[in-house]
Amino acid sequence: MSKTILITGGAGFIGSHVVRLFVNKYPQYTIVNGDALTYAGNLENLTDVQQAPNYIFEKIDITNEKGMDELVSKWAFDAVIHLAAESHVDRSIVDPLAFVRTNVLGTAVLLNTCRKHWGGDYAGKLFYHVSTDEVYGSLGEEGFFTETTPYDPRSPYSASKASSDHFVMAYYHTYHMPVVMSNCSNNYGSHHFPEKLIPLMINNIKNSRPLPVYGKGENVRDWLWVEDHARAIDTIFHKGVAGEKYNIGGFNEWKNIDLVHLLCNIMDRKLDREPGTSARLIEYVKDRAGHDLRYAIDATKINRELGWNPSLQFEEGLEKTVDWYLNNEGWVEDVTSGNYQKYYEDQYVRR
Ligand code: NAD
Ligand code: DAU
């Protein structure tokens, strides 16, 4: 069946993997990537699909009510997969209102625009909201987040994502809009912006720069291969039940300091350095304010009800990730220098 789908944030890390999967796997779908191209959005992430006949890029800010209205009028979307967000916790501590604008207001504008255009006739329609495990707060040494864990966000980022989740469920209950939502753990893989832990460490190890570990490095995260997240989104989009939420995770918990040591070992081997060379770059620095201790997702529901499972072992995924960064040094240079903004101009404005 043909469909026209808006994927917001499709030029970002996870969004670009979701766009690639949908464009390649579903030639009968028209995939419209709607993205504002903030510092985190990069069309170079999608050069392999940009010529595909079922792929379209639209530069759009989801907080712009008029622009969203025009976009939805133009394309008459059957479905939205909403990933656009400000996504970095440290930035949310510096500038919380940017997170309120995009994550809360932007999500509400998107929901309201769909409500207006779908006009209560929701046959064949779906609003899929991509959220995070951080809305559940911080775990102690034991336990997991399930879909019924009460929300307890503790950073401006997670508070803004929690608020957007509530708006999505409000549109389900109040207007009967068909929605699904997923809350995923930490992703890793290619095209990850080097402000986040894994790509930042890979980049700094490569350049023999200090490796800043927050606090004592005891915080725990549950890491999932980004392509497994994209597969989970595909599964939920096609098989999920409206009004339901699904947790996605890798059952793969790592203390930050252990993960950094593992990366150091992999990089020493790949860069032909003496074992132990990169680990000497580790520096314990001031902790993140309000730093959540531990996240761990119970992904039983999506496995039991929809048959999804993570496909890749972490060590194998990390090796692939390191290889990607070592083979794509130009990408890292571009995203850290702002050259990709020029790519957009060349690709879309001047021609
Ligand atoms: P990202 O920061 O790499 O990408 C975000 C994208 O959204 C960028 O392309 C950016 O240009 C776009 N964007 C930002 N503001 C916009 C606006 N106002 N209008 C239109 N586009 C805008 O983020 P990511 O890591 O790929 O995360 C994608 C989604 O997945 C987010 O909603 C995030 O909360 C969620 N998530 C991320 C992770 C993770 O580990 N990265 C885990 C779980 C959930
Ligand atoms: O859990 C899902 C979330 O994972 C997503 O919703 C967020 O969008 C995504 O950014 C990520 O949030 P984290 O805060 O967990 O990711 P980050 O890579 O920023 O940090 C991972 C851990 O590493 C965290 O405990 C903080 C620590 N850290 C991070 C950086 C950037 C360091 O010790 N040093 C660093 O330089």
The pLDDT-based confidence of 341 (bands split at 50, 70, 90) is: low
Distance from C-alpha of 46 to C-alpha of 20, rounded to nearest angstrom: 7
- Is the shortest distance between the CB of 91 and ligand 2 below 6 Å? no
Q: What is the mean pLDDT of residues 111-128?
A: 95
CA distances from 335 to 1, 177, 208, 271 (A): 37, 37, 19, 23
**Assigned token pair, 211:** 């490796």
The pLDDT-based confidence of 340 (bands split at 50, 70, 90) is: low
Spatial neighbors of 342 by CB under 8 A, at least 6 apart, are: none
126 or 120: which carries more pLDDT confidence?
A: 126
pLDDT digits (tens, 9 = 90+) for 101-119: 999 999 999 999 999 999 9
In Å, how far are 92, 118, 295, 329 from 321, measured between CA atoms? 26, 41, 22, 13
The CA 86 to ligand 1 mean position distance, Å, reads 6
pLDDT of residue 120: 84
Q: Ligand 1 center to residue 13 CA distance, Å?
A: 7
User: 3-state DSSP call for residue 163?
Assistant: helix
Q: Give me the mean pLDDT over the 177-205 stretch.
A: 97
* Chain position carrying tokens 């009967």: 176
Mean pLDDT (whole number) for 341-345: 69
Judged against a pLDDT cut of 70, whether residue 136 lies above it is answered with yes
CA nearest to 232, candidates 316, 322, 128: 128
Gap between the Cα atoms of 182 and 165, Å rounded: 10
**pLDDT of 343 higher than 80:** no
CA distance 67 to 61: 7
pLDDT value, residue 351: 53
Does ligand 2 lie within 6 Å of residue 158's CB atom?
Answer: no
Query: What is the reported pLDDT for 348?
Result: 65
Atom of ligand 2 nearest to the CA of 87: 8
97 vs 181: CA distance, rounded Å: 24
At 347 the pLDDT is 65
**Average pLDDT of the chain to the nearest whole number:** 96
Domain ranges of the chain: 3-189+225-251+291-314+339-349
Q: Which two tokens stand for residue 186?
A: 């930490």
Query: What average pLDDT score do residues 244-262 get?
Result: 97
336 has a pLDDT exceeding 90? no
The mean pLDDT value for 249-273 works out to 97
Gap between the terminal Cα atoms of the chain:
34
For position 339, what pLDDT does the model report? 73
Over residues 334-341, the mean pLDDT reads 77
Pocket test for ligand 2, best of 214, 255, 264 (most atoms within 8 A of CB): 214
Over range 145-165, report the average pLDDT.
98
Nearest to 262 by CA among 324, 212, 318: 318
Pick the CATH number of 3-189+225-251+291-314+339-349 from 2.40.30.10, 3.30.1540.20, 3.40.50.720, 3.40.50.2000: 3.40.50.720
Number of other residues whose CB lies within 10 A of the CB of residue 65: 14
The sheet carrying 79-82 orders its strands as 55-59, 29-35, 3-8, 79-82, 126-132, 179-184, 245-248
d(CA 224, CA 185): 7
Would the CB of 89 count as within 6 Å of ligand 2? yes
Confidence of residue 338 (pLDDT cuts 50, 70, 90): confident
* 207 has a pLDDT exceeding 80: yes
Q: Is the CB of 160 under 6 A from ligand 1?
A: no
Q: Which residues are catalytic?
A: 133-134, 157
